[in-house]
Amino acid sequence: MFGAAAILLLALPASAADLAVLRNGFTISHDHRRVVGDKTRLFLSTDDSNFTDVSTDEISGFEKDLSLPAPLKPALPQSTSPVSVSSHSAVDLSQVVNSASAAYHLDPDLVNSVIHAESGFNSHAVSPKGARGLMQLMPSTASALGVNDAFDPQANVGGGSRYLRELLERYNFDLVKALAAYNAGPERVEQYNGVPPFHETRAYVARIVHEYNRKKIAEEKAAALTQKEQKKAATTVHSKPAATTASAHTPRSSSTLSRKPTAQLAANSDRGSSSR
């Protein structure tokens, strides 16, 4: 994101059970983290292939997660009061995203990128037009999706992920059109037969596509490095002479794993302010 001039300011090792505590009260579980510029990159796995970037000023601190892994408790249907983080244990946002992504067969990286663009991981965000929560659901959309409390992270991310999946299916898994529809509405996408000529919509799509592709490229690089190390180790083992035979066989090199091509997606990079 920051190009060749990006400066690595700080690298902080963390245990596999560290939590980044956001100012909105929620947490993101991560393996380790690194601060680059004004962003803190939270790595969700040990091999750096899965991560999310959060503005450093949105993080109030870090702490050890001493609790055992456990699934989140479902939202109580009888509750009519807004979610109060201060009176409940902190919600692990990564668990919420992973659960919703699995339910609707989405890539968690994509869902995280949408949340980042929509609300900056603020579960109580409200846009000038009334969109609410992490994935900025309009009241009418939330109602249609069965989301009674748009400020409930589980309900909001679940509803937003379902809506995103429906849009992907509607546009034959054209991510650019689906994201444009998520931002400006399906009617606008169909009216213009593609991304509407709105600066904020084009900037919104470009931002998510750029962030998502960057994560996929990082995953590919990590996979390629792992493959290279495994191949080198296998070649070293195969090249050792047998102790019980005098025949010299040419060592076989390990087979090369196929690389999955990066899903590069084109999007207009015009910038603009959010419309919701």
Per-residue HEC secondary structure of 160-211 comes to HHHHHHHHHHHCCCCHHHHHHHHHHCHHHHHHHCCCCCCHHHHHHHHHHHHH
Q: 98 pLDDT exceeds 90?
A: yes
Q: 232 pLDDT exceeds 60?
A: yes
- Contact between residue 123 and residue 26 where contact means Cβ atoms under 8 Å apart: yes
Domain-embedded: residue 239: no
Domain-embedded: residue 83: no
Q: How far apart are CA 185 and CA 164, in angstroms?
A: 12
47 and 130 assigned to the same domain: no
Domain-embedded: residue 105: yes
Q: Is 146 left (phi over 0), alpha (psi -120 to 50) or beta?
A: left
Structural domains of the chain, count: 2
Q: 269 pLDDT exceeds 80?
A: no
Average per-residue pLDDT for the chain: 75
What is the pLDDT averaged over residues 247-254? 42
Query: How much is the pTM?
Result: 0.58
38 and 103 assigned to the same domain: no
pLDDT of residue 236: 78
97 and 61 assigned to the same domain: no
Displacement of CA 216 from its chain's centroid (Å): 10
Start-to-end CA span in the chain (Å): 24
49-63, 149-163, 165-179, 183-197, range with the lowest pLDDT: 49-63
Band of pLDDT at residue 132, cut at 50, 70 and 90: very high
Where is pLDDT greater, at 111 or 246? 111
Q: 123 pLDDT exceeds 70?
A: yes
20 and 101 assigned to the same domain: no
What is the pLDDT averaged over residues 169-194? 96
Q: 140 pLDDT exceeds 80?
A: yes
Q: What percent of the chain has pLDDT over 90?
A: 41
Displacement of CA 90 from its chain's centroid (Å): 19
Domain-embedded: residue 243: no
pLDDT of residue 17: 60
215 and 148 assigned to the same domain: yes
Q: How far apart are CA 93 and CA 120, in angstroms?
A: 12
Where is pLDDT greater, at 141 or 7? 141
pLDDT of residue 58: 83
Q: How far apart are CA 107 and CA 167, in angstroms?
A: 15
Where is pLDDT greater, at 215 or 46? 215
172 and 229 assigned to the same domain: yes
Band of pLDDT at residue 78, cut at 50, 70 and 90: very low
Closest CA to 189 of 210, 163, 171, 162: 171
What is the pLDDT averaged over residues 55-80? 57
136 and 271 assigned to the same domain: yes
The answer to whether residue 118 is catalytic is: yes
Q: 51 pLDDT exceeds 80?
A: no
For residue 75, count CB atoms less than 10 angstroms from its CB and return exposed for 0-12, middle for 13-18, buried for 19 or more. Answer: middle
36-50, 107-121, 179-193, range with the lowest pLDDT: 36-50
Q: 93 pLDDT exceeds 50?
A: yes
Domain encompassing residue 218: 91-233+266-276
From 118, 211, 219, 220, active-site residue: 118
108 and 61 assigned to the same domain: no
62 and 162 assigned to the same domain: no
